[in-house]
Amino acid sequence: MRHIISVLLENEAGALSRVSGLFSARGYNIESLTVAPTEDATLSRMTIVTTGSDEVIEQITKQLNKLIDVVKVVDLSDGDHIERELMLVKVRAIGKDREEMKRMADIFRGRIIGVTDKDYTIELTGPGSKLDAFLKAIDAAAILETVRTGASGIGRGDRVLKV
Amino acid sequence: MTQLTGAEIVIRCLQEEGIEYVFGYPGGAVLFLYDELFKQNKVKHILVRHEQGAVHAADGYARSTDKVGVALVTSGPGVTNAVTGIATAYMDSIPLVIITGQVPTHAIGQDAFQECDTVGITRPCVKHNFLVKDVKDIASTIKKAFYIAATGRPGPVVVDIPKDITAQKTEFSYPDKVSMRSYNPVVKAHAGQIKKAIQMLISAKRPMVYAGGGVILGDASQQLAQLVRLLGSPCTNTLMGLGGYPATDPQFVGMLGMHGTYEANMAMQHCDVLLAIGARFDDRVIGNPAHFFEQPRKIIHIDIDPSSISKRVRVDVPVVGDVREVLQELVKQLQAAKEKPDQAALKSWWAQIKQWRGRECLKYDRSSPIIKPQFVIEKLYEITKGDAFVTSDVGQHQMWAAQFYRFNKPRRWINSGGLGTMGVGLPYAMGVQLAHPKSTVACVTGEASIQMCIQELSTCKQYRLPIKVVSLNNRYMGMVRQWQEFFHGNRYAESYMDALPDFVKLAESYGHVGMRIEKPGDVEAALKEAFARKKDLVFMDFVTDQTENVFPMVPGGKGLSEMILV
């Protein structure tokens, strides 16, 4: 099962490698991992997307909690949550494709943030499945380059992860 | 306030922590630290002959006391040599603080002379590690290091200090307390879980107590004994837990696991309620988990580390907390409970255990004209009156020591259980002997293991450590040979050691006493003579049976009750 886990950890050198090292040492999967400092600069917040049986996920959260730098761990998939991912796609945009690409970007509520006479760079956010859908919807041959951040997640309503 | 150098601060911190011994080896990156060690005499430095020995000795010191062991090594090769020691301590949850020198901050990342990424290399085998980048952080970091090492599930902590930081100056004040928002180990267990455990234990028909190294580390052996008596159940110890419950007590059924007793393994397999205390159901303990679950039973698991619970086996009642506090609470509530354990059920359970005991799984040929290794350990037990500190290396001799030396007290049996590090025995004995200068310390080893840290015989001479080395010399890496005999068609690939040194002369060349014992009839007299030499290190080279195997044995991948027996 796919799980999305949020981790608050001390914003210290090496904290990220402790987490990634844990996943590789114990053979856990990482689908994506994003991290950045929070509004409190002494803390970083990490979102990890992973897959595993209930037993494996239980071990992952326990092992994460065991890391000395980790302050809090929440499995967002335990309840209502929102997740978003950012993707930048550079697509060929010549001739009649130029208009088509603009239309597709609009349909997916993407924004064109880079323009040359040959290509567009489109910014798109949403759940991973929406980004996948966009890539499927456009002509594969027109895709020059993509970059994705991996998912960031947050609990809905009263579910707040804070120190 | 006067300004101190980083090096002075480090030594002052060690003094503040009441550190008696630092085990180490100097080098370029730690010269300022050694200079400060030189200028004082509160903290004594023990100069080893290889950094691995330093960490093992600090580890042996910690295992035999309830204190944190301290090692000091230089950057680069000093650190990489220390890694085996650190990983050994990590696997067995031993509290250590290892201070490592690092190249100056401006040289970090430049592939400088004797540079290595210490924090990176040690990360997977420490409880935590630090790189100190500011002299102002030294004191608080060392305070944290000792706190983290000793609390919760203990473990080694590395503090990496660049050379320039040890030369810079700042004001010194050692913090009284540590408070970390990210590290608050659980101490008090959930009351509801304790209640559930009590009900389950009272209703058991075939209860079994399985106690591991956590009981030793948590100083809870008295509470364990009280609990087992109240329950009237059998009790087994893991390799790491030996001495946690008195081995001569009638309720003790011996060690369990791959080389555990028949009765302990059968009782594990057939109990209906299993109380696991400070143990982690590892592969050498329960064998194949699927086979283990062919018999239904309820499991209560007490551990300070939540991640140890439900890791390899499903647990019905997890109890996270300090083992001593939890056992105290269990004893208190059991004494107060109206219901008592079912005596009739216990009687028939013990009748079954008696039958298993009748299998005499540890018997061996006592009429052999060649020295049997088991016989040496039995005699060692008799002559030391069961009261020695016994360290061991790793292999057959370790298992025989565990099976035949009956440990009645905790912290007397010092060995590498988790990592299984050959070479620990002698440096462990150094740490133990320094911690207990008046006590008898024996190092049970083999001719293969002892050669992995043999250089420490020189350290033993320098500090006059009267360790008694009991080497069971069968000219083979015995445990490797045993597996090759059982599972690899008697093809003894590279497990025979040709060109062994003359250990008697070797011991003598280091300034110690060497003895070779070749006949069973000479074993007792030799041991008596050796242990009577209170001031000397005596190296006893027992020429033992090359074909002897350790029984019982649960082959890898098999179930606990599928033992190979004599």
Residue-level pLDDT at B493:
96
CA nearest neighbour of B75 among B114, B131, B23, B26: B114
Residue-level pLDDT at A50:
98
Q: Are B96 and B89 spatial neighbours (Cβ–Cβ below 8 Å)? A: yes
- Sort out which chain B residues have CB atoms less than 8 A from A66's CB and list them: 305-307
Q: Could you tell me if B307 lies within 8 Å of chain A, comparing CB atoms?
A: yes
Out of B113, B354, B360, B508, the active site residue is B113
Out of B163, B298, B372, B379, the active site residue is B163
- pTM greater than 0.95 (yes/no): yes
Closest-CA residue of A relative to B313 is A55
Best interface-test mutation with A: which of B125, B293, B307, B320 has the largest number of A CBs within 10 A? B307
Residue-level pLDDT at B172:
97
Residue-level pLDDT at B498:
86
Residue-level pLDDT at A71:
97
Question: Closest approach of chain A CAs to the CA of B57, in angstroms?
Answer: 26
Structure tokens of A132?
């996948």
Question: Do the bridges between strand B3-5 and strand B169-171 make them parallel or antiparallel, or are there none, so unpaired?
Answer: antiparallel
Residue-level pLDDT at A56:
96
- Sort out which chain B residues have CB atoms less than 8 A from A13's CB and list them: 131
Q: Could you tell me if B109 lies within 8 Å of chain A, comparing CB atoms?
A: no
Question: Closest approach of chain B CAs to the CA of A93, in angstroms?
Answer: 44
The answer to whether the Cβ–Cβ distance between A59 and B124 falls below 8 Å is no
Residue-level pLDDT at B1:
78
Quote helix, strand, coil % in chain A, to nearest 5: 30, 40, 30
- Sort out which chain A residues have CB atoms less than 8 A from B137's CB and list them: none
Residue-level pLDDT at B466:
98
Question: Closest approach of chain A CAs to the CA of B338, in angstroms?
Answer: 37
Residue-level pLDDT at B109:
96
Q: What is chain A's pLDDT, residue by residue, as a tens digit (163 residues)?
A: 999 999 999 999 899 999 999 999 999 999 999 999 999 999 999 999 999 999 999 999 999 999 999 999 999 999 999 999 999 999 999 998 899 999 999 999 999 999 999 999 999 999 999 999 999 999 999 999 999 999 999 999 999 999 8
Alpha-carbon gap, residue B483 to B395, rounded angstroms: 11
CA nearest neighbour of B130 among B37, B46, B13, B41: B13
The answer to whether the Cβ–Cβ distance between B128 and A68 falls below 8 Å is yes
Q: What is chain B's pLDDT, residue by residue, as a tens digit (566 residues)?
A: 799 999 999 999 999 999 999 999 999 999 999 999 999 999 999 999 999 999 999 999 999 999 999 999 999 999 999 999 999 999 999 999 999 999 999 999 999 999 999 999 999 999 999 999 999 999 999 999 999 999 999 999 999 999 999 999 999 999 999 999 999 998 899 999 999 999 999 999 999 999 999 999 999 999 999 999 999 999 999 999 999 999 999 999 999 999 999 999 999 999 999 999 999 999 999 999 999 999 999 999 999 999 999 999 999 999 999 999 999 999 999 999 999 999 999 999 999 999 999 999 999 999 999 999 999 999 999 999 999 999 999 999 999 999 999 999 999 999 999 999 999 999 999 999 999 999 999 999 999 999 999 999 999 999 999 999 999 999 999 999 999 999 999 999 999 988 999 999 999 999 999 999 999 999 999 999 999 999 999 999 999 999 999 999 999 999 999 999 98
**Cα B105 from chain centroid (whole Å):** 36
The answer to whether the Cβ–Cβ distance between A14 and B123 falls below 8 Å is yes
Residue-level pLDDT at B497:
87
Q: What is the DSSP string of A70-114?
A: EEEEEEGGGS-EEEEEEEEEEEE--THHHHHHHHHHHHTT-EEEE
Alpha helix ranges (H) inside B295-413: 323-336, 343-357, 373-383, 396-404
B240 is catalytic: no
B360 is catalytic: no
The answer to whether the Cβ–Cβ distance between B123 and A21 falls below 8 Å is yes
- Tell me the three-class secondary structure of B121-155, residue by residue: HHHHHCCEEEECCCHHHHHHHHHHHHHHHHCCCCC
Nearest CB to A68 within list B119, B124, B148: B148
Question: Closest approach of chain B CAs to the CA of A24, in angstroms?
Answer: 10
- Sort out which chain A residues have CB atoms less than 8 A from B305's CB and list them: 66
| Amino acid at the residue B265 | N
CA nearest neighbour of B230 among B212, B255, B251: B251
ipTM over 0.95: no
The answer to whether the Cβ–Cβ distance between B131 and A14 falls below 8 Å is yes
Residue-level pLDDT at B526:
98
Out of B479, B540, B553, B563, the active site residue is B479
CB pairs under 8 A between A and B: 37
B65: helix, coil or strand? coil
B113 is catalytic: yes
Whose tokens are 């880079």? That residue is A114
- Sort out which chain A residues have CB atoms less than 8 A from B124's CB and list them: 21, 25
